[in-house]
Amino acid sequence: MSTPHEIETGSSRQEPLAFVSDHERAESFARAVDALRRELEARVGSEDVAYIQGVRALSSSMEVAGRALIHFSLEPVSFGLGVLALSVHKTLELMEIGHSALHGAYDRLPGATGFRSDGFRWKAPIDEESWRSAHNIRHHQYTNIAGRDPDLDFGGLRLSERVGYRRLHALQPASNLLTWLGFATAINLHATGVLEVYLGRDRPRQLRDRSLASVVRAHGRFFRKWFRYYAREYVLFPALAGPFFWKIWLGNVLSEVARDVYAGATIYCGHVGATDFAPGARPGGRGQFYVAQVEAAHDIEVPPPMSILSGGLDRQIEHHLFPRLPPNRLRQIAPRVREICEQHGVRYRTDRWPHRLSQVVRTLASLARNHEAPPDALAAQL
């Protein structure tokens, strides 16, 4: 293998990006990935529809059990079990079901009408249209490219050295951990552009522009989903309980927090501290685009039940290579993706969740102290 050309990354501890000067090897990697894609697309079908329908049935059962236990609980144990069951329901709806459906994983599958992206309604306080634009298009197309990937500059949160330092960033990692307590709302603020209105920079990302009409439109998108969702969770359901209003309200709050902390702790592990790229970076072909997707992601190792609650985002590398693949397939193909990466010399980074999470927290603390952004001149093209 030829010596890879060194490209400046978001941290001095990062290794050079593989294949930048080895175009043929990168294209060989792309051919192997595309062959696996064709094989998977031929296999995806009724089995996957049955799987997601089964997950939805489990989710609905957890909701009924959770709300019933919270309502009729007379002591802390049954109340706690109710909160746990309800949080499982909300986590499944956010991650395994909603995230995959809005990526279009079931769009072309007969019998999956309720899970097709164009009409899917997320059981979470996140505007679907805004999320598809911010996540499916911007994040997945420009993963970890500063100035292009909106997820690197999350308002007052700095997730890369390439993001210019602001005094507000000194609050990290405490501000990040606080965001996790309301992570779904934070995502909605981010995707709709409301966060950009108050904490954004000069260059619009989620907003079309900074006109009054655009600002009003962003707030409308945020509140139309957020208000309906939390009116149900924090007003309607507690009100139906009559004198048990505050018990139901507390159970719903705790289940929301449990879902959000779990989702935040999972999602942050996927990209924070992985390779990031300078503004203007461009992959030099399909092969180098795939390499960049692998370089910018990080897997975590968790037991199968936790992987389902993670929506397959514990397999972040596989998800970025195959974003429209159902999450059950991501878990199946992970060993093969890792083998392809190893055969072609592409770094496949994976670690135990607790260790990876501790790395993320240390990275956030470092970004709070480090005011210097790396030079960008060396990374004009991947």
One digit per residue, the tens of pLDDT, for the chain of length 382 reads: 333 332 333 333 333 344 444 788 889 999 999 999 999 999 999 999 999 999 999 999 999 999 999 999 999 999 999 999 999 999 999 999 999 999 999 999 999 999 999 999 999 999 999 999 999 999 999 999 988 898 888 777 888 888 888 888 899 888 888 899 999 999 999 999 998 888 876 555 667 677 898 899 999 999 999 999 999 999 999 999 999 999 999 999 999 999 999 999 999 999 999 999 988 888 888 999 999 999 999 999 999 999 999 999 999 999 999 999 999 999 999 999 999 999 999 999 999 999 999 999 999 999 998 776 655 533 433 4
Q: Which tokens belong to 354?
A: 């607790």
Give pairs for 136-140: CB < 8 Å, separation 24+.
Answer: 136/102, 136/103, 136/104, 136/323, 138/205, 140/320, 140/323
Give the alpha-carbon dihedral of 60, 66, 68, 71, to 10 degrees. Answer: -140
Q: Residue 277 in contact with residue 144, Cβ under 8 Å?
A: yes
4-15: burial string, b at 16+ Cβ within 10 Å, e else: beebbbbbeebe
Residue 318 has a pLDDT of 98
Helix (H) or strand (E) holding 37: helix 23-43
Residue 301 has a pLDDT of 96
DSSP lists the bridge partners of residue 351 as: 300
Q: Which tokens belong to 283?
A: 């992959």
Give the SS3 label for residue 299: strand
Measured distance CA(185)–CA(81) in Å, rounded:
25
Give the alpha-carbon dihedral of 115, 121, 122, 124, to 10 degrees. Answer: -160
Instruction: Look at the pTM and tell me if it is higher than 0.85.
Output: yes
The DSSP bridge pattern shows strands 157-158 and 153-154 to be antiparallel
Measured distance CA(128)–CA(184) in Å, rounded:
12
The DSSP bridge pattern shows strands 350-352 and 299-301 to be parallel
Whether the ω angle into residue 305 lies within 30 degrees of 0, i.e. cis, is: no
DSSP lists the bridge partners of residue 350 as: 299
Measured distance CA(157)–CA(357) in Å, rounded:
17
